Amino acid sequence: MKKIEYTKIKGQSLAYYGLLAGLGFMILMGLLATWYMEHNGHYVTGMSNQIVWGMPHVFAVFLIVAASGALNVASIASVFGKKIYDPLSRLSALLAIALLAGGLVVLLLDLGRPDRLIVAITTYNFKSIFAWNIILYTGFFAIVGGYLWMMMDHNMHQFKKKVGLAAFVWRLVLTTGTGSIFGFLVARSAYDAAIMAPMFVIMSFSFGLAIFILVLMAAYNWTGRELGDAVIARLRNLLGVFVASVLYITTVYHLTNLYITEHHGVEQFILRDGGIYTNLFWIGQVLVGGLIPLALIYAPGVKNCRKTLGLISTMIIIGGLCQMYVIIIGGQAYPMEIFPGYEVSSSFFDGIVNQYAPTLPEIILGLSGMAVSLLLVTFMIKVLSFLPTSLADSVTDPHAK
């Protein structure tokens, strides 16, 4: 394997500045949406006292989960010693930080009192998995930031592997924590399951890699740098394993619930009678986000087709957002079983499927989180040397282990 040369991108083209301006505009729109929602109060959103977490959380949790997944490429190089992934490590770590930042911005701006950020990071209830997550997020920035330093400073290379291992362990704990936000909820039938934590870990592998592949291909395509088939083939195969794993754990989750009588109601709701949630599950999550990408990844005719891989990655992201929507919104839409065995009615919407329709400001806020992530990456690869000058097959050496 040749010595890898990293260079900053030039970033002087009109297209580059256009991209920055476009992402900046999206962020501005997100801030305006936040101002509108916070100024009026949350009643102007689709959220209510029944659906308390809405579209912003779908985007925020998706980005946070994808963040830890984006770090996988670096982990495979440093922890598992696969050298072909080594040149991708810097971008992997940068994207991980950027995605987490984007997700947290959305989460923060949807709080009832975002002005109390200082309270959130200084006042802890250590029994709360949410509080632990705040610590895990902060730690993730610090450790992955340190990891980048070890990678980018030649004098610190000797520590790269150890810090990489720490980052890998930290990211596993982080996604376990994110999944446990739902797993620890005893109140609602759709959650309250230990499998939520490993499910989120596996989802992170898939979503994070899909975003990584898109960013990598875009960066190399738009800067005219060479990106060899060897790297792409590896990433494509890895993506196939991750997509299959998500389908597997989703199956296990639903099979378990189908076996347990008290969960039959929520399963019928998600899998059969839930309307939008059932459609998003079968068409969005399973078909668009799972089966079709899986078929395309292993289809012989399009093996080296970059456009197909781009399509596959996009489908996985759309499927991932659908999965988050089904988990977060669908889980709340299903009526809480406070009185099992009774038909329930009240002025507070007991016993009926809760309605939710996302409003435009919520969607804009969510998308602006994605824009924050992409803006950070776009800007940072111009400022520091994150990208190898070439990832041609001759540079990355596909036979090196």
Partner 1 sequence: MSDQINDSRRNFLSKAAIAGSITIAPGVFLHQTAQAKSDDQAVSSNTRWGMLIDTDKCSKGCTDCVDACNNEHSLTGFDRPTTDAQYIRKVSLVEKQTGHEISLPMMCQHCETAPCVDVCPTGASFKREDGLALVDKHICIGCRYCMMACPYKARSFVHEEIKNQTLSAPRGKGTVESCTMCVHRIDKDGIPACVEACTEENHNAMIFGDLNDPNSTISQELKKHGGKQIRADLRLNTGVRYQGL
Interface ranges with partner 1 (CB under 8 A): 38, 40-43, 48-50, 52-53, 111-114, 116-117, 119-120, 123-125, 127-131, 133-134, 181, 184-188, 332, 336, 338-339, 341-350, 355
Name every residue whose Cβ is closer than 8 Å to that of residue 318 and which is 6 or more positions away in sequence: 284, 288, 289
Residue 138 CB neighbour total at 10 angstroms = 12
Q: Are 223 and 84 in contact (CB under 8 A)?
A: no
Whichever of 259 and 339 has its CB closer to partner 1, that residue is 339
When the beta carbons of 47 and 246 are compared against partner 1, the nearer one is 47
- CA 179/CA 201 separation, integer angstroms: 8
How many other C-beta atoms can be found within 10 angstroms of the C-beta atom of residue 292?
A: 17
Question: Rounded to the nearest whole angstrom, what is the least distance from the CB of residue 114 to partner 1 in the complex?
Answer: 8
Residue 348 C-beta: closest distance to partner 1, Å: 4
* CB nearer to partner 1: pick between 46 and 228: 46
For partner 1, give the closer residue by CB, 14 or 118.
Answer: 118
C-beta closer to partner 1: residue 52 or 156? 52
Mutual orientation of helices 360-383 and 89-109 as an angle, nearest 10°?
150
Q: For the CB of residue 35, give the shortest distance to partner 1 in the complex, in Å.
A: 14
| Residue 70: C-alpha distances to residues 67, 91, 109, 138, 205 (Å) | 5, 9, 23, 17, 7
Sign of CA pseudo-dihedral 147, 211, 172, 191: positive
CB 334 within 8 A of CB 353: yes
Give me 254's structure tokens.
Answer: 């639903």
Minimum separation from the CB atom of position 395 to partner 1 (A): 46
Cα first-last separation, the chain: 10
Closer residue to partner 1 in complex, CB, 37/364: 37
Q: State residue 284 phi and psi, 5-degree precision.
A: -75, -60
Nearer to partner 1, 120 or 392 (CB): 120
State the minimum distance, in angstroms, from the CB of residue 376 to partner 1: 24
Three-state DSSP state, 354: coil
Q: How far is the CB of 281 from partner 1 (least distance, A)?
A: 20
Least gap, CB of 46 to partner 1 (angstroms): 9
